[in-house]
Amino acid sequence: MATTRQQKLSESKKQEPKLSPTDEYWGATHPPPQVHVSMDSSLKTEWVASYLKDPHFKNIWKDKESDVDEWKNGYRYFKDKDGLLFFRDEDYQPRLCVPRDYQRDLLIQAHKSAIETAHGG
């Protein structure tokens, strides 16, 4: 007898571990952190290419475990759909990885800009 789609769905639900009410509440009230990065598409392409020249990020960026669909729990780096590399800090907050080619200019801009300052004074 062939297994129906309904039976398969029912069986897969039985195999899922049941969360405690506390864990369910936590998940419902604490969505995962998100970072919104906006940059010109040509800059984004150059930025991603710079990861491959950066001695620190080159191997991390190439590592399959950092791919969007391959990320494993405990691995701190991940790439978004555009190839930008992020690091999850100790609180699992995502931080954009800045390739060496852009670090100096970004720090100068962040510290000199009155609107987009890194420090409030």
Find the domain containing 52 and state its range: 40-121
The DSSP bridge pattern shows strands 94-96 and 77-79 to be: unpaired
Q: Which two tokens stand for residue 15?
A: 């195999």
The per-residue DSSP string of 56-84 comes to TTHHHHH-GGGSTTT--TT--EEE-TT--
Could you give the number of structural domains in the chain? 1
Q: Is the residue at 18 inside a domain? A: no
For residue 94, the model assigns a pLDDT of 86
Measured distance CA(50)–CA(80) in Å, rounded: 16
Select the more confidently predicted residue: 112 or 52: 52
pLDDT at 64 over 80: yes
Phi, psi of 93, rounded to the nearest 5 degrees: -85, 130
Residue pair 96/48 in contact (Cβ under 8 Å)? The answer is: no
The pLDDT of residue 12 is 53
Evaluate whether residue 96 is within a structural domain: yes
Which has the higher per-residue pLDDT, 53 or 32?
A: 53
Confidence at 15, pLDDT banded by 50, 70, 90? low
Beta-bridged to residue 95, according to DSSP, are 87
Where does the pLDDT of residue 21 fall: very low under 50, low under 70, confident under 90, or very high at 90 and above? confident
In a domain, 31, yes or no: no
Is 119's pLDDT higher than 70?
no
Structural domain contains residue 23: no
Most trustworthy range by pLDDT among 12-21, 33-42, 83-92 = 83-92
**Token pair listed for 22:** 């506390």
Q: What integer is the mean pLDDT of 57-75?
A: 81
